[in-house]
Amino acid sequence: MAKQSMKRLFNTVILSLALSAATVSAKEPQAEVGGQLPLEELRLFADIFNQIRNSYVDDVNDRELLENAIRGLLEGLDPHSAYLDASSYDHLQTNTTGEFGGLGLEVSMENGFVKVIAPIDDSPAQAADLRAGDLIIELDDKQVKGMSLQEAVEMMRGPQGTKIVLTIVREGINAPFEVTLTRKVITVRSVRSKTLEPGFGYLRVAQFQTKTAEDFRFELEKLKRANKPLKGAIIDLRNNPGGLLQSSIQLADIFLDEGTIVYTEGRVPSSKAVFKASSSEPADTTPLVVLINGGSASASEIVAGALQDHKRALVVGTQSFGKGSVQTVLPLTQERAIKITTARYFTPNGRSIQAQGILPDIEIQRARVQPLNKDGEITEADLHGHLSRDDGEESTSRSRKQNNGNGEASLAESDNQLFEALNLLKGIYLMGQRVPAKAAESE
């Protein structure tokens, strides 16, 4: 009796879907909705469902079976579409507000393995030096191949203080290696700032959350108060996995007073949109360098691409991740939803970000810089009895210069990309100050 009831239920669902498709098709052109639903294939699905229920070696839960089928529908589309059960939906909402537990990794699936998009700032993953592009092939000796992305993420999450072993494959390293991480509560501070040198500021954007643009404005104004004048700023988007589209648009808008920031195109009319800069208040004119790498994805690529196309900033670093697709979360109930790719991003000049990313204006590879040992090198100022400069200023020996330059040397050694970005920013500022007299008069 139960079997007949289930079969009747499926036939009713299939008939309802077919009627729904026919109704929609009568109202709109077929191209807009993709035509009628495949009735024969739906009947086949119902038959397979019943075969599994009747013949599988163990009892199966109807709800789990249907949820697995839905997951397969979405995960077969692309790495970013997914079915969100109650736990996953809750995690998604938590990630965009700023606090959650786990390892601090933004990940996707590639060829059946978990691929690292970016480690999150101040997380166990960042402390362990996990990098964009790393492939996770095992979690606590369990093969990742065959898991869904949701299953892998659930394994990586857990109570604070517990450990997990990740087996990593990294380009350039011949053999897989293991990394042991301790889970902790991840609190994402979306924007941080500091002064690198007098007049030159640094703004780190870790992720695009609800209040990121507002926090960015606050940190930028703080830098301006501490540096009079603020000669330039570096926006660091490295290992920023993205986040909310609207927040990235709002941040780019701070520096643009007109023109397109980003536009999207998809198959249905609702997925097509153009987002323009607001002219309601003057754009900030601080000279900018934007720093990106292979972990800069999605919303961070929107900011970098907009500022680059408008020639508002010099973009440096390495090629970004290339996630140029738009995901829309469609709630099914209060606890469940589907996340589906609905459009592609394009920069103001019409460049597709998808699978290409943003190419920097100047490439700066990550490298380990070793301090040069200059022991034994001398200059005129080191010689006993050298002639004075005759301008009232004291001569400075090389050894004294090296002692005074420890901060700069430390930055070059710890973060060569940031060091080079700072040097480029200084050059931009100096070139802006050196306007020929005739050119200045003609303006």
Whether 228 sits among the annotated catalytic residues: the reply is no
- Please write the tens of the pLDDT for every residue from 74-92: 989 998 999 998 888 887 7
pLDDT of amino acid 58: 94
Tens of pLDDT, residues 422-437: 999 999 999 987 645 4
CATH number of 99-187: 2.30.42.10
Active-site pick, 184, 231, 323, 339: 323
Confirm whether 145 is a catalytic residue. no
**Per-residue pLDDT, 22:** 40
Which CATH superfamily groups domain 191-363?
Answer: 2-enoyl-CoA Hydratase; Chain A, domain 1 (3.90.226.10)
Is-catalytic flag, 309? yes
Mean pLDDT of 303-332: 96
Max avg pLDDT among 16-20, 153-157, 187-191: 153-157
Helix-, strand-, coil-residue percentages of the chain, each rounded to 5: 35, 25, 40
Domain with CATH 2.30.42.10 in the chain: 99-187
Non-local CB neighbours of 307 within 8 Å, separated by 6+ positions? 252, 255, 256, 288, 290, 313, 315
Of 38-47, 150-159, 177-186, 391-400, give the lowest mean pLDDT range.
Answer: 391-400
pLDDT at position 186: 81
- The token duo for 93 is 């909402």
Q: Calculate the average pLDDT of the chain.
A: 85
Residue 404: predicted pLDDT: 47
What is the pTM assigned to this prediction? 0.77
Most confident range (mean pLDDT) of 28-37, 97-106, 179-188, 211-220 is: 211-220
Model pLDDT for residues 381-421, shown as the tens digit of each residue: 666 666 776 666 665 555 444 444 455 668 888 899 999 99
| DSSP codes of every residue in 419-439 | HHHHHHHHHHHHHHH---HHH
The number of helix segments (H) and strand segments (E) in the chain equals 14, 19
Which of 134, 236, 284, 309 is catalytic? The answer is 309
The answer to whether the beta carbons of residues 291 and 317 sit under 8 Å apart is yes
Q: What is the C-alpha to C-alpha distance for residues 374 and 354, in angstroms, rounded to an integer? A: 47
Asked if pLDDT for residue 375 goes beyond 70, the answer is no
Find the distance separating the first CA and the last CA of the chain, reported in whole Å.
88
* 390's tokens: 């005759």
Q: Which of the listed ranges 94-108, 287-301, 356-370 does the model predict with the highest average pLDDT?
A: 287-301
Q: Cα–Cα distance between 229 and 42 in angstroms, integer?
A: 67
List 123, 298, 300, 320, catalytic entry: 298
Q: Give the model's pLDDT for residue 442.
A: 44
Cis peptide leading into residue 229 (ω within 30°):
yes
Task: Supply the pLDDT for residue 47.
Answer: 94
Q: What stretch(es) of the chain map to CATH 3.90.226.10?
A: 191-363
User: Over the stretch 237-264, which tens digit does the pLDDT of each residue have?
Assistant: 999 999 999 999 999 999 999 999 999 9
